[in-house]
Amino acid sequence: QFFLALKTGGTLVTSYLAVATEWDATAIDAKALERQKQVFGDLLQIRWACLRSEAQTRAQLLAAGFSKVEIFPGFARMFPSVVAQKKG
């Protein structure tokens, strides 16, 4: 749907929640992560869905027709940013 919504030559900028096996554990404050889990999970009842790997994300965007996909890992590799181009 992102691909169809963009004009030719358009750029998609998005992010995703990476699978835990791709996180940089050395950059994560374990106590802060536990507090975040309590706030988002216990208090706000948020349930994360559709966690994905970099390979899955790249493959899906290329299969959709994007010509160039760049993934920027960001802090701790938890929420990578994605920039994808629709050929012009």
One-letter amino acid of 38: Q
Q: Is the pLDDT of residue 42 over 90?
A: no
Q: Is the pLDDT of residue 35 over 90?
A: no
Angle at 28 between CA 45 and CA 69, to 5 degrees: 85
User: Per-residue pLDDT tens for 45-86?
Assistant: 777 777 899 999 999 999 999 999 999 998 899 999 999 999
pLDDT, average across residues 30-58: 83
Looking at the chain, the whole-number percentage of residues with pLDDT higher than 70 is 99
Banded pLDDT at 11 (limits 50, 70, 90): very high
End-to-end CA distance of the chain: 18
Do 12 and 2 form a contact (C-beta atoms < 8 A)? yes
Residue 40: predicted pLDDT: 77
